[in-house]
Amino acid sequence: MKRTASFWLAAAAVGYYLLPWYLTDDGIFSLTWALDLADGTDAPGLAHAVSGRLWLLPIVIGFVALSALIWVQQPPVKQARRVTTTAAVTLVYIALQGLMIQRNGPRALT
């Protein structure tokens, strides 16, 4: 389980730390977003989080919690339940903030 969970955690971290968090104008496969990282609109999730979009910071907490749960020795069944629960809570949070937050901020405030 450690290898599989670590692989998916690494894939999610790459998406959060390296790829644009919000929809790009030309699509992700055009790669023009890679040239425009300096303007901030096509920045990765962590860059948005540290620049004031604090609703993206709890995702880092989910990554850290999952990393700790994966690598701390526990009975396998308990570990699987805890990793699954933490991953599900993190995914639900990401889905909710994706539905509630637009590129320019929370929907309720705009």
Q: Give DSSP secondary structure letters for 50-108.
A: HTT-GGGTHHHHHHHHHHHHHHS---HHHHHHHHHHHHHHHHHHHHHHHHHEETTEEGG
Blockwise average pLDDT, block size 10, the chain, 110 residues: 88 88 75 68 82 86 92 90 94 87 64
Question: Nearest-CA neighbor of 94 among 69, 51, 57?
Answer: 57
Q: Does the reported pTM lie above 0.85?
A: no
The pLDDT of residue 78 is 92
Angle between helices 58-71 and 2-17 (to 10 degrees): 160
What is the residue whose two structure tokens read 């405030």?
109
Distances (CA, A) of 56 to 19, 49, 71, 79, 81: 14, 5, 24, 26, 25
